[in-house]
Structure 1
């Protein structure tokens, strides 16, 4: 080797600083511009091993582990960090001066064995340090994500602070967003897997649009832009995906076989408070679906607005149910069969044959039950004026989960 003599390596051997720096720069280029600082004393360890056969000490390997952690914290991928180390070893080996001129095969073999040992232990230690840092970063990000989601859904946090906190997650609070809640049939499965799967499919469909996925109170929460009508690249030309709720449900259904999900979609609203409002609507939709014993996979809060109207004056709705439907409980079998019949009858446009099909009973049974309703309540399902009253009472009863639950009493 020609050139000036640099500082001593770990064993006391001396190496040319300019030569080692050039090897480091070339390896950095090979690895896509990874900072040369992440090599630390790795090149000197390699050169020392080739010259003296010395193996790295524990403290020297610990320093490599620290560099692995630093690579993760700087956002360098694990593959590029490892490539930096392997490329540096290859380039240094090709330029080791005493080996380039050596004709002693045994000496070259011994040097190669020593260098490969350093590469093996150093890369393994680098990867271990990288993995530890990544796990810590993931846990930290998950905690920040959960806190951010809690504050966004509460809607009463400082706007300026939230704007700053949402920036790393790519969430633009100036846009119109909607919230989707996904409820598993039983215990929430692997949370990390669910979040990763949802983010992957949403990013694939929406590109780089802002989206946030997290968990809250046993539910999976998705906050996404409302203007998501985009071509579905996987379903052929002319296919469109404009329903975030169905997109979320389809991905969860593929991920967790045997654990059906129910997804509720809040309406889109602008700004920070719009996110909180959409969340409340989605949560109310899930609660209402449970009261109605609805088994629909995807529930749109927009479709349940009538129940919010009906329950806005709950005492009045209780009075209506008591007047129109409580008398149905005097029949044999209770009010439930008559209530189900009214529900099916109104849902199919007052067609008795279709109501019978939906209820899996005969048309005669349907007409008999409707006649019992008229006799017991005094309201005729066939009369246009009475029909509206009965329909509103049935919707209110479903919202109040009556007769499974007793009607709320007057406030004390």
Structure 2
């Protein structure tokens, strides 16, 4: 933009103030500096380049001797106002973005499609949501228990709700408490977002922190974005993190569904005591099915496994043996290696299970019943304590 294209009233009175300074030596007073700041703010709001604004201010003093001190004050005030407007615009954009993400993940449909386009998302497409948890930094690890992971006491039938403040409003990033800051690795999540945007573009990925979860929304047509998200989590945080990945779903409601699936995958992984760091909802579809009829799975667990409670040494070694056998596809030697016991010990435990329950993992039909019962026991936290 050329100086001649500036609004005529943007630097009104500037030339006269410089002339007064040249004649009297008086610097701009407080009122004049406030006027300059207001002009800088207005220039930023109008989209005037800062260089053009400064050039115009300097040009007004070219033929006036001894006005450098006044020019310095004037230009400094102009830049203060300009920068304040830019900062306010950035904050407004961040607030709008946070509100959009809150509404998107909570399924509030008010003008979602219109607002999504502003942030580069085309909600008619299919999206995948990945969530990461346990993102503590190395110096926080000593305060998070043996496993270093925050395991919240949440139910298995839905994603964790978005935390709100005392008035019930959704939490904002700036409102996160110390616990949430620890759980999201301080500002490391911001670096992950910048890295993802640098590779895939701001119109393809959306990263936000919600209730201690680092959330990544990416198009289903760009699976590399979710892989890159997991890569950065793995690279930036010590062991103890876990990533859950939802399935691809279309539209705004699809984003909510994928988010809930990803969060539920984390809960199921905890309940099943899985040791893997990345869990996919698509790989765990059978478990929500089991939990839909809670009374049926409780009846199965109690009917099949209750006799193990009478075992000498407790039920837990026997359940762990069954889990190892199922994971090793019936190979007792491999199961023994997993359990760090001898193959003879595995054989002995399996025989005890057969005598107590009447079920044997060697029989195909009985193996399915046993495995389903063991998985149900883990999901239900059986047997209950206390």
Q: Normalised by the size of structure 1, how large is the TM-score?
A: 0.73
Query: Aligned pair 1:87/2:55, yes or no?
Result: yes
User: 3-state DSSP class of the match of 1:299?
Assistant: strand
C-alpha change, 1:46 and 1:208, in structure 2 (3 Å) is same
Write the distance in 1 (CA, Å) between the matches of 2:207 and 2:133.
14
CA distance in 2: counterparts of 1:294 and 1:37, whole angstroms? 68
Structure 1 residue runs of 5 or longer lacking an equivalent are: 1-21, 29-33, 100-107, 230-241, 407-412
Helix, strand or coil: the match of 1:380?
Answer: coil
- Which secondary structure state, in structure 1, belongs to the residue aligned with residue 207 of structure 2? strand
Query: In the comparison of the two structures, how many residue pairs are matched?
Result: 342
Aligned partner of 1:188 in structure 2 is 180
**Cα separation, 2, equivalents of 1:73 and 1:339:** 66
Which residue matches 1:219?
213
Residue by residue over 1:265-313, the C-alpha shift from the partner in whole angstroms, topping out at 9 and shown as x without a partner, is: 1111011211111111112112212222334332211111121122121
Q: Which runs of 5 or more residues in structure 2 are unaligned?
A: 135-148, 151-178
Q: Give the number of the structure whose alpha-carbon radius of gyration is greater.
A: 1
Report if the CA contact (8 A) 2:244-2:265 is conserved: yes
Measured in 2, the distance between the counterparts of 1:274 and 1:387 equals 37
Query: How far 1:46 sits from its partner (Å)?
Result: 4.6
2:37 aligned with 1:65? yes
- Aligned in 2, Cα 1:52/1:404: closer, same or farther, shift over 3 Å? farther
Separation in structure 2 between the aligned mates of residue 327 and residue 253 of structure 1, nearest angstrom: 42
Quick check: 1:173 aligned with 2:153? Answer: no
Please report how far the alpha carbon of residue 323 of structure 1 lies from its aligned counterpart in structure 2 after TM superposition: 1.4
Q: Which whole-Å CA distance do the structure 2 matches of 1:72 and 1:193 have between them?
A: 29
| 2:195 aligned partner | 201
* Of 260, 268, 285, the match for 1:305: 285
Task: Pick the aligned partner of 1:121 from 61, 73, 87.
Answer: 73
With over 3 angstroms needed to count, the CA separation of the structure-2 counterparts of 1:52 and 1:226, relative to structure 1, is farther
CA distance in 2, matches of 1:368, 1:38: 90
Instruction: Flag the structure with more relative contact order, 1 or 2, with Cα contacts below 8 A and sequence separation at least 6.
Output: 2
Conserved? CA contact 1:169–1:210, under 8 Å: no
Structure 1 residues 270-349: aligned runs within 5 Å: 270-349=250-329
Most deviating of 345-354 and 124-133:
124-133
The answer on 1:369 being equivalent to 2:349 is yes
User: How far apart are the structure 1 equivalents of 2:225 and 2:328?
Assistant: 26
Structure 1 residue 131: deviation in Å? 4.3
- Quickly say closer, same or farther: Cα 1:127–1:382, change in 2 above 3 A: farther
**Contact 1:292–1:401 under 8 Å retained in 2:** no
Runs of 4+ in 1 over 6 A off after TM superposition: 34-37
Change (3 A) 1:130 1:23: closer
What is the SS of the residue equivalent to 1:188?
A: helix
Query: Is the Cα contact below 8 Å between 1:249 and 1:297 reproduced in 2?
Result: no
- Is 1:262 equivalent to 2:212 in the alignment? no
**Which one of the candidate residues 361, 377, 384 is aligned to 1:397?**
377
Question: 2:230 pairs with 225, 237, 249, which one?
Answer: 249
**Aligned 8 A contact 2:119 2:202 in 1:** no
* SS of residue paired to 1:189: helix
Q: Please name the residue that 1:235 is paired with.
A: none
Contact 2:265 2:284 in 1 (8 A): yes
CA RMSD of aligned residues (A): 3.1
Alpha-carbon contact 2:208-2:216 (below 8 Å) kept? yes
Q: Which residue is equivalent to 1:54?
A: 26
User: In 2, Cα distance between the equivalents of 1:130 and 1:145?
Assistant: 23
* Cα displacement string for residues 252-273 of structure 1 (whole angstroms, at most 9, x for unaligned residues): 4545x45843221111101121
Structure 1 pair 355/24, CA: closer, same or farther in 2 (3 Å)? same
Structure 2: distance between partners of 1:388 and 1:294: 19
TM-score by length of 2: 0.77
Task: For 1:106-185, list aligned pairs within 5 A.
Answer: 111=66, 114-115=67-68, 117-158=69-110, 161-184=111-134, 185=149
**Contact 1:40–1:64 (8 Å) recurs in 2:** no
Contact 2:130 2:259 (C-alpha < 8 Å) held by counterparts: yes
Check the 8 A contact 1:181/1:222 in 2, yes or no: yes
